[in-house]
Amino acid sequence: MVQDNDTRITGFFLLGLSKDPDLHPVVFGLLLSMYLITVIGNLLIIVATISDSHLHTPMYYFLCNLSLVDISFSSTTIPKILVNIEIQSKVITYECCITQIYFFIVFLGMENFILTVMAYDRYVAICHPLKYTVIMSPWFCGMLLMVSWIMSTLHSLLHSLMVLRLSFCTDLEIPHFFCEINQVIHIACSDKFLNDMVMYLGAGLLGGGSLISILYSYCKIVSSICGMSSVQGKYKAFSTCASHLSVVSLSYCTSLGVYLNSAPSGSSQSSAMASVMYTVVMPMLNPFIYSLRNKDIKRALNAFFGMTAVKGQIVVGLKKCP
């Protein structure tokens, strides 16, 4: 990629998921299909939550926001690689790369914080059911979400500014399908010790802190469930946490696997493939995990589509009238 006189680069090369051109149509089809499923699935969760007044509760309020974040998270990376495959180009401009890093970290942080808040919501619902409506008031839920956005934005802004201070020489190939911050930092030719320190410190404080909070909430939840005398009560309490616990387990396991595998000495290609799990697969699976065993979501969707069908029949009937 061409460099200006002040050694400021104009862009990078994204090596993508496969170096074999014959596999590009397959990769394009798979990514496009998963992206569409992600968008449609999460939009259905949002529609169900908004359309049914019975779902206007803190749990579904956070679930609705998680679905919105999942759509935004996938949209940060997948459309760019789809365009690159379609036009047979690997180029991403410097400005686009920095922008992608910023929004990727923002939405990754938001997903992390929302999962933490949802764990706290389940903790209050199960351990303090009589105080639930008082503690999880609309004002408090809004404050939790606002603080999450502020922290995610500031955290992402710090990383983006740290990348801006780096200088790049001749090695402008990013062995990934998007501008993953760890890969971008390690192709820089300037000192990156401070960037590494900030990156791992931020991941440890925010990611580790959120994980500890989630584990603490579930320790209290398990303790409270074990103290219940009713078997039916135990099953109902556990069922309200099962979906969230599944998403948390998958999210943290895949993220941990990716970053343990993304060390400079590791395989960059395998790291890129592993990243597909939490950038593409996880946002796609979340709607299924939360809706398959959730009768409230199913009822809301059936009611919504039933109402839409009735309205459609009425409109068609009116058009046929002379």
**Mean pLDDT, rounded, for 234-260:** 77
**Mean pLDDT, rounded, for 120-134:** 92
C-alpha closest to that of 164 among 134, 201, 198: 198
Lowest mean pLDDT among 25-29, 233-237, 267-271: 267-271
Model confidence at 151: pLDDT above 90: yes
pLDDT of residue 232: 79
**Mean pLDDT, rounded, for 252-278:** 65
pLDDT of residue 103: 96
pLDDT of residue 258: 64
Residue 288 CA to its chain's centroid (Å): 15
Distance, in Å, from the CA atom of 256 to the CA atom of 258, rounded to the nearest integer, reads: 5
Q: Kind of pairing, strands 91-93 and 11-14? A: antiparallel
- Report CA Rg, the chain: 22
Measured N-to-C along each axis, helices 208-226 and 94-127 cross at an angle, to the nearest 10 degrees, of: 20
Q: Taking the domains of the chain in order of start, what are their residue ranges?
A: 11-293
Residue 225 CA to its chain's centroid (Å): 29
CATH architecture of 11-293: Up-down Bundle (1.20)
Model confidence at 7: pLDDT above 60: no
pLDDT of residue 296: 79
Which one-letter amino acid corresponds to residue 224?
A: S
pLDDT of residue 208: 87
Measured N-to-C along each axis, helices 231-261 and 268-276 cross at an angle, to the nearest 10 degrees, of: 150
Distance, in Å, from the CA atom of 55 to the CA atom of 264, rounded to the nearest integer, reads: 46
Distance, in Å, from the CA atom of 193 to the CA atom of 204, rounded to the nearest integer, reads: 16
pLDDT of residue 24: 87
**Mean pLDDT, rounded, for 23-40:** 93
Model confidence at 127: pLDDT above 80: yes
Distance, in Å, from the CA atom of 60 to the CA atom of 265, rounded to the nearest integer, reads: 42
Distance, in Å, from the CA atom of 139 to the CA atom of 210, rounded to the nearest integer, reads: 22
For residue 203, the 8-state DSSP code is: I
Lowest mean pLDDT among 59-63, 127-131, 190-194, 275-279: 275-279
Helices (H) and strands (E) in the chain, counts: 12, 3
Model confidence at 106: pLDDT above 90: yes
Instruction: Evaluate whether 127 touches 259 at the Cβ level (below 8 Å).
Output: no
pLDDT of residue 4: 47
The H or E element spanning position 192 is none
pLDDT of residue 5: 38
